[in-house]
């Protein structure tokens, strides 16, 4: 699995801590981690709005399989990511959130709070969230006797999102403020992850046109 970690300006100083915990879990599982957001306060400036655009491009182009995002509360990142087609982002404050999101919703992104509640042993909480996010089976429901309706409802929700976002994906991106999109794709590490792994030539051509 290819996993992208993206962090915005308000919590960029915690990137090294979160990246270390993600690598500690993903490495033994042979997952590849790409640190595509801000690595410190001096990196190119990103907001949670940019994170949604970045996640959308990476997931829809199949450059990555999963996105770990977040902001101060995690709420803005979650809403930003879920505003885009092809992105199903869950809100994870503790390990049980990640487990239940995997089992019930089986999405492709999580949003974490990197300021609210980020106190003593916060790095352990992050590691345990990642353990639940990236180990074990997915989409099996919880409790197990609820699997059938949960899987059905998750599928219906995905269909509803697809129906409400039925316009062409690239048309949607082009309708946005192009300076926002250009900033979102301007990071060197994002570009390396995207161009090395993307599987959609039309999306690639659009990103190159911005650069």
Mean pLDDT of the chain: 95
pLDDT reported for residue 164: 78
- Our count of domains for the chain comes to 1
Determine contact, residues 4/36, Cβ cutoff 8 Å. yes
End-to-end CA distance of the chain: 28
Decide: 38 and 12 in contact? Cβ < 8 Å. yes
Is 3 within 8 Å of 26 (Cβ atoms)? yes
CB atoms within 10 A of CB 50: 25
- pLDDT tens, position by position, 112-158: 999 999 999 999 999 999 999 999 888 888 888 888 988 898 889 88
Nearest of 13, 41, 39, 12 to residue 187 by alpha carbon: 39
Q: Is a pLDDT exceeding 90 seen at residue 199?
A: yes
Q: Which pLDDT band holds residue 166 (cuts at 50, 70, 90)?
A: confident
- The Cα–Cα gap between 137 and 131 comes to 12
> Which of 50, 35, 44, 61 shows the shortest CA–CA distance to 83?
50
> What percentage of the chain has pLDDT greater than the value 70?
100
Model confidence pTM above 0.85: yes
Residue-number span of the structural domain to which 182 is assigned: 2-210
Give the Cα-Cα-Cα angle 179, 54, 9 (nearest 5 degrees).
75
pLDDT at site 207 = 97
Return the number of other C-beta atoms located less than 10 Å from residue 168's C-beta: 11
Q: What is the CATH number of the domain that holds 9?
A: 3.40.1400.10
As a whole-number percent, the residues of the chain with pLDDT over 90 amount to 84
Residues with Cβ within 8 Å of 144's Cβ and at least 6 positions away in sequence, in order, are none
């Amino acid at each position: 699995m290819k996993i992208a970690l993206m962090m915005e300006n308000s919590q960029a100083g915690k990137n090294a801590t979160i990246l270390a915990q993600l690598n500690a879990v993903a490495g033994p599982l042979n997952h590849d981690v790409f640190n595509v957001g801000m690595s410190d306060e001096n990196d190119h400036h990103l907001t949670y709005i940019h994170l949604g655009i970045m996640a959308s491009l990476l997931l829809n182009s199949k450059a990555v399989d999963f996105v770990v995002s977040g902001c101060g509360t995690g709420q803005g990142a979650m809403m930003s990511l879920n505003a885009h087609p092809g992105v199903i982002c869950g809100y994870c404050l503790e390990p049980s959130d990640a487990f239940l999101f995997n089992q019930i919703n089986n999405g492709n992104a999580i949003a974490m709070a990197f300021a609210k509640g980020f106190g003593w042993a916060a790095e352990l909480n992050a590691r345990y969230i990642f353990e639940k996010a990236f180990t074990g089976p997915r989409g099996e429901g919880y409790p197990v006797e609820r699997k059938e309706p949960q899987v059905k409802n998750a599928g219906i929700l995905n269909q509803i999102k697809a129906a409400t976002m039925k316009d062409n994906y690239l048309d949607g991106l082009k309708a946005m403020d192009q300076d926002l999109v250009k900033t979102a794709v301007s990071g060197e590490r994002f570009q390396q992850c995207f161009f090395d792994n993307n599987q959609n030539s039309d999306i690639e051509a659009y990103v190159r046109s911005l650069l």
